[in-house]
Structure 1
Amino acid sequence: MQIQINTGSGIHGGEGLNERAEAEIASVLDRFSSQLTRIEAHLSDLNGEKGGPDDKQCVLEARPTGQHPVAVTHRAATVEESYRGAAESMAHLLDSKFGRLHHAKGGETIRHMAAPE
């Protein structure tokens, strides 16, 4: 699983920020690594120097193998909170997506159960 971090012009932090974001996203989404080819994180500052609540945004896009990409967005007061929240949202989305692919409505049907003796 490849992770790519993209930052907007209002986000400062350099390589240190990229490494921390990549490590956090990788740790949260590690259990899906065999099912994903790439993850892209787009970090941006919505208000520039004006500040304000929830002005940092992370759009996280995951590309499952052989399927259409999925994306989530999370806004927070800090860049770290934004990519952490986006990673957790993506984990919930992927749990739901991959769970539906491998489970038929949550359990076995009566047709597949053994007959009582």
Structure 2
Amino acid sequence: MKIQFNTDKYVEGNERSEAYFASELETTLARFEDKITRIEVHFGDENGEKFSLKDKKCLIEVRPAKLQSIVVTDHAESIEKAFRGALVKIKKAVETTFEKQKAH
């Protein structure tokens, strides 16, 4: 399972935070790792240099083998909070997708 991080020009990415976020994703989605080929995480600041509440965005896209991509987004005051919100959403979405697949 490959994990790729992308940031816009207003969000600074570094290896330490990427390692932490990757670890959290791997732990949360560990039971599905054989079914997931790639995960892309996009961080952004929707208002750029202007201040606004909940303007930080985290989009997580999970690409399961032989299925459509699963995409969730969360907005918060910080990148970390946006990531946490998106992580909860993607876990639920992935679980639901694979449970439906198992039922058929």
Same structural fold, with TM-score higher than 0.5 when normalized by the shorter chain? yes
Query: What is the rounded CA distance, in whole Å, between the counterparts of 1:13 and 1:63 in structure 2?
Result: 22
String of CA shifts for 1:41-64, please: whole Å, max 9, x gaps: 000011112122111101111100
Deviation at 1:76, TM superposition (A): 0.9
TM-score using structure 1 length: 0.82
Please report the TM-score for the alignment, with normalisation by the length of structure 2: 0.91
After TM superposition, give the deviation of residue 13 of structure 1 in Å.
4.0
Q: Is there any run of 5+ residues in structure 1 with no aligned partner, and where?
A: 105-117
How many residue pairs align between the two structures? 104
Q: Which residue number corresponds to residue 26 of structure 1?
A: 26
1:91 aligns with 2:91: yes
User: Take 1:99 and 1:55, find their aligned partners in 2: how far apart are those partners?
Assistant: 33
For 1:10 and 1:17, the matched residues in 2 are separated by: 16
Q: Could you tell me which amino acid in structure 2 is paired with residue 79 of structure 1?
A: I
Determine the structure 2 residue equivalent to 1:2: 2
The answer to whether the Cα contact below 8 Å between 1:4 and 1:40 also exists between their aligned partners in 2 is yes
Q: Tell me, what secondary structure is at the counterpart of 1:10?
A: coil
Spell out the pairing of 1:65-84 with structure 2 (5 A cutoff). Answer: 65-84=65-84
Letter of the 1:30 partner, please give it.
A
| SS in structure 1 of the partner of residue 37 of structure 2 | strand
Q: Distance in 1 between matches of 2:85 and 2:26?
A: 13
Give a deviation string over 1:16-49, Cα, whole Å, max 9, x none.
2222221222222222111100000000011112
Gaps in structure 2 of 5+ consecutive residues:
none
State the one-letter code of the partner of 1:44: G
Structure 1 runs (4+) deviating above 2 angstroms are none
Mean CA deviation greater in 21-30 or 55-64 = 21-30
Q: Is the 8 A contact 2:7 2:13 kept in 1?
A: no
RMSD across aligned C-alpha pairs, in angstroms? 1.3
How many percent identity over aligned positions? 34
